[in-house]
Structure 1
C-alpha cells in the first residue's frame, strides 16, 4: 500500500502546482486584457487627434497656406518639450484577481457646441502664382497606398518603422497607417 500512497501524494502535488500555474496565468491574462483595453483607448484617442490635425491642416490650407509650417512646428514642439515629461508610463501592478473584469473602451467625449467656435465662412481669392513655381505633387492617400502594397513590402516597411510585421496585410496596414508619411511612400515607389 505504501506505493499507492506515494503515487497519490505525487499526483496531489502535481495538481497543486498546476493550479498555482493556472492562477498565475489567469492573473497575467487579466493584466494583458487590461493593457489591451488601455491600448485600444489610446489608439482611439490618437486616431481622433490625427483626424483633428487633418481637419486643421485643411482649414489652414484654405485660409492661409503660408502658416502650415508654423502649425507643423507647433505640433512638433509638443514632442520636443517638457510637455510630455510629466506623463510617465504606468507599470501594471500585479493582478490579484483571478477572473478579469471586462472594461468598456472609453472614447473621448465629443465637444459641445459651447466648446467650439462656429465655423467662419471664408471665401479665398487665389493669388496669381509665379510662373516659375512648380505645383507640388498631390499627397498620396496613405491608407489606399498601404492597402495596395504586396505583403512583403508591407512587412519590410513595418520593420523599418519598428512596428510588428507579423500578421495579415490588413493588420499590418492598420498598424502603419497612422505613422507612415507620404515621404515614406515616395521612398518605396
Structure 2
C-alpha cells in the first residue's frame, strides 16, 4: 500500500511539474513576442525621428532658397498622410496573444511518513533592460555642411574662410574640408545671402 501511495504522489508531482513547465513555456513565448514588438517600436521611433530631422533640414533649406514654396512643401507632406497615399500600406496584423490561465500546481497530499519533497527548479527570465533613450539626430551632418560648402562659389567660400580665420588658399574642396568643422548651416546661408 505504501508503494501505491508513493506512486500516486509521484504521478501527482509529475503532473504538477508538467503543468508548471507548460505555463513557463507559454510565458517565455509571450515574453519573446513582447520583446520583438518592443524592438519594432524602437525601430519605428528611430525612423520617425530621422524623418523629422530630414523634414527640418528640408524646411530650413527651402526657407533659405524660396520661402514662398513652404506651403507647397507642407501640402506635399500632408498628402503623405491622406487615405489615398496610405491605402497601399499593409497594416500590421494584430497579434493575437492568448494569455495562459495561471493555475497553481497541485500540492501533493501530506504523507503519513515524512518524505523529502523534490525541488522544482524554475529558471526565471530576467526582465529586459530598459532601452537607452534615443538621442535626436542633429539636423545637419558634417556631410551636409561639406556638400553645401562645395556648392558655394569660390569667392564666397574664401570670404567665409577669411571670416572664420582659416586659410583661404587652395581649391574649393580643400577650403571646404577645413571649414566643415568650423561652420554651421546658418553661416553658409549668411555667406551666400
Larger radius of gyration: 2
Task: Provide TM-score, normalisation by structure 2.
Answer: 0.47
Task: Provide TM-score, normalisation by structure 1.
Answer: 0.48
